[in-house]
Structure 1
Amino acid sequence: MILYYLINAIFARDIFSVFLTFPLFVLVITAVMNRKSKYFDIHEMVWIIVYIFFVIEPVQAIADGHITDGPVDVLYFTRYELMEAMVTIFIFFSLYLYNSVICYRQDHGFRTENILIGQRMMLVAFVINVFAFVGVVVTSGGITNLLAYRLEKDVSSTDFISFPILTLQISTAFIACIAHIGAPRNFKYISTLIIAIILILLGISQNPRNAARYFVLASWYPVVYIFMRGKISSAIAYAGIFFGLIIVMPLMNLVGREGVSLDEAARLTDFGGGVLRVPFVDVFDMSVYNIAYMESHNWYFGLKSLSIILFLLPRNIWTDKQVWTGYEMGAILEDTKVAGTYNLSSFITVDFYADGGLFGVVIGSSIFLYIAHRYVLQSKVTLNGVDLQGAIITASVPILIRGPFGGNVYLTFAELVLVYLMQKASRIGSK
């Protein structure tokens, strides 16, 4: 991480970008070097994504007041706006590190409860999984539409209910995989056959050709994590993340969104250029634009943050529910032809800042991170020795930091709820 930063600093187009990112770089290195876990976990995923999104990308992109090769590259930003955006991010992750350290000290030595997932739960998960897959096919407009490139899909034939059914398919696949690694020897052959069927069905519904990159990661990382029994080394994880960003993500973007073949995508992609300009990363860009955007808008005094907390509440019930700031800014950029889409990156501090500037960032980040660490990140339950909750959240970190948080947290939330219910059922069944 240090060497890669130094290489990018040497080739930086604007020396100001190095001074701008250095404090956060130090924070990231401090956090990584003081990690207590022997294996890759949620916190390391957070720090590597912070490193790429908010340290490396600004160094690579900032040049003479512009953030190049992104959705706002035609706009000019002052150094004050660049610094204030970085301050909002530094505040959030300083508080994140503080909460991580405090929670570790308080929970150190806490005995984790391990729930055994047996044959019965595996068979139940298998049956549900097959029916869920059939439901995904039906509600997605048939197998042809399900398998189509994302660009070619007939969205009008896809029912909204396909999302919760897909979540059920993904979650039961995780439970079945966990049951498989704990299956007794006399059940191993049947168990292997069941897992093969489940993973084939998962591969049909969630693959780089027909699914969003986030859904592919959220579906397959926990599977890998389960079969590795959570013992993924940090070095392998870091190498995989960089390989994914520089090689896999550009290919998936062309294959899934443009509908080109894998061979053609490989010919069109400049893999070497990704080393000094990580592609498709624009989170810092939008954080800076938010500073300029709010100069001509009034504060929302908590309404933006409240819309995140109550993300499950439909707008037809809460008619005055605020649109997440990322979508709001994206719509303006799309209308003015600055950007080609409204669906742009938007880290959660964008909404906190819209609620009350830096004061809003401090208050919003403090409350959000306290809740996250107390009730979500500190998992105390494993299934057959595997921290499935941790795997699900780890796979979700990139898209949740990319944002908008309120618009992307649905899958993570639904998976955690379904896994919790099956976990409860297993605990009751074992009594």
Structure 2
Amino acid sequence: MSVFSKANMQEFNLSKGGVLLRKKVLFLIPLGSIVITYKYLIEKRKINSNTIILFLVLVALLILLFIFKNPFTEKRNALGPIYITLIYLFYPKLINSNAKLFLFLFVSMILVFPLISAITHVNISFAEIMSNPIELYLSFVKHGGIVNTFNTLHYDAFANIMATVEFVSNQGYSFGFQLLSAFLFFIPRSIWVSKPLSTGELIGNYLIEEHHFGYNNLSNPIISEGYINFGLFGVLLMAIFLAYFIVKFIRWLNSGNSLKEIIAFYFAIHLMFLLRGDFTNGFVYFIGTFIGVVIIPNLIIKIFKK
């Protein structure tokens, strides 16, 4: 059984809300703490007992974050924004221009992320990897390595837009009902029985019923999220809202507030996942990160100031 299979079995016994709180909020608190600690050390520059202690705290926080968020226990949509954000924090010169960032993301998408995907889907446990590392390589080769990523449905965005158009032609628009699965994510399905499915799952179920598709764990781009709710007007509406928040985060990036700056950069990288969709997962995962990186650290700072 693979590392991910065991992790998924453990998470199956928890509520979705519990998993979200643990993995997308609590496990991201170290990232916000890393930002605050590092910025403080950079500003002080002088070596004394306080800065030495804070440096050790920073190292401990980095280790803790790696334990919580590593390729063996976390999905790529979370790993990418987190570690690219750390690069931006510690060594911004690597990605401080459009050309550098484009090259970095190109290499990441073509080599690094497919490599991580191949590693996270190997059919051996973490204990087996530690006792016999060669098994990791053998399993990696057996499942097609990096090339396998480009031969599967990882790049299904356009196809899912077409599937959504077909769904709407048969079922009609949802008139905002689909958006409620994102905006009211905190309401348990046990309480709200008719709570809408995420759009990726909804379209996946439709394809299973109508075209005998294999599974319903699909992406759903933000374009088709707008379309399924309000048609072409919805596509335009999504573009307007997205532009508004991008402008807002650009202001945060230049605000001088370290936490606002880091969450703004995080959003820029997370945007690749949000645009691919579906909207519910992209929105909820970012809100969880926002709470863990910005809200909770700010509350802790206010408490200590009192």
After TM superposition, the score normalised by the length of structure 1 is 0.56
Q: Deviations over 1:252-275 (max 9, x none)?
A: 22221233554232575465798x
1:282 paired residue number: 156
| Greater radius of gyration (CA) | 1
Q: Does 1:151 align with 2:20?
A: no
Q: Deviations over 1:359-407 (max 9, x none)?
A: 33223433x2354246545315334598212222123112111211212
Seen in structure 2, the aligned counterparts of structure 1 residues 385 and 282 have a Cα distance that, compared at 3 Å, is closer
* d(CA) in 2 for partners of 1:381, 1:373: 14
Give the one of 54, 64, 70 matched to 1:191.
Answer: 54
2:245 paired residue number: 372
Alignment of 1:132-151 (within 5 A): 149-151=3-5
Q: Deviations over 1:140-194 (max 9, x none)?
A: xxxxx9xx72123232455535233213234333333333433432244333322
Say whether the 8 Å CA contact 2:122–2:143 is kept in structure 1: no
2:204 paired residue number: 330
1:179 paired residue number: 40
Seen in structure 2, the aligned counterparts of structure 1 residues 318 and 229 have a Cα distance that, compared at 3 Å, is same
Seen in structure 2, the aligned counterparts of structure 1 residues 180 and 281 have a Cα distance that, compared at 3 Å, is farther
Q: Does 1:217 align with 2:91?
A: no
5+ residue gaps, structure 2: 125-134
* d(CA) in 2 for partners of 1:310, 1:385: 25
Structure 1 residue 296, shift from structure 2 partner: 1.1
2:272 paired residue number: 398
* d(CA) in 2 for partners of 1:413, 1:311: 10
Query: Helix, strand or coil: the match of 1:288?
Result: helix
Give the one of 252, 257, 262 matched to 2:116.
Answer: 252
Give the one of 150, 157, 167 matched to 2:28.
Answer: 167
Say whether the 8 Å CA contact 1:287–1:346 is kept in structure 2: yes
Q: Deviations over 1:85-134 (max 9, x none)?
A: xxxxxxxxxxxxxxxxxxxxxxxxxxxxxxxxxxxxxxxxxxxxxxxxxx
Query: Helix, strand or coil: the match of 2:215?
Result: coil
Say whether the 8 Å CA contact 1:348–1:403 is kept in structure 2: yes
Seen in structure 2, the aligned counterparts of structure 1 residues 216 and 236 have a Cα distance that, compared at 3 Å, is same
Give the one of 90, 97, 102 matched to 1:238.
Answer: 102
After TM superposition, the score normalised by the length of structure 2 is 0.76
Tell me which amino acid in the other structure corresponds to 2:35. F
Q: Does 1:206 align with 2:80?
A: no
2:222 paired residue number: 348
Task: Kindly tell me the number of residue pairs found equivalent between the two proteins.
Answer: 283
